[in-house]
Amino acid sequence: MSSELHYSSAHASHCNNSISLQRFNSQQDTMAGFVNRENRVPYYQRLFQEGQKNGVRQWNQTARSKILLYPYYTILFGGLAGSMYMMSRMVLGHKTWFGKN
């Protein structure tokens, strides 16, 4: 009796797997743009290898690098400058950004 139960549960599991496979295959037709898209790995591989030969850092090689790095540099160095300015004012005894106090 237990072997029949085990067989039936294994058979049910196999049927569920085949149903999910059929569902996955039907979804491939609807998501064809995602599944069959262009492979960009060779493009980026050439880009990074050429940049390495020219002495360009990896994080500064793509077209989006400037869009991402310039705001980052602004926040980084602006925060550093503001911190240094306020530390020097605190050493002099001023607790505000401007004025005597």
66-88 pLDDT tens trace: 999 999 999 999 999 999 999 99
Taking CA atoms, 46 is separated from 19, 49, 55, 57, in Å, by: 42, 5, 14, 14
Model confidence pLDDT, tens digit, residues 25-68: 555 555 556 678 889 999 999 999 998 899 999 999 988 999 99
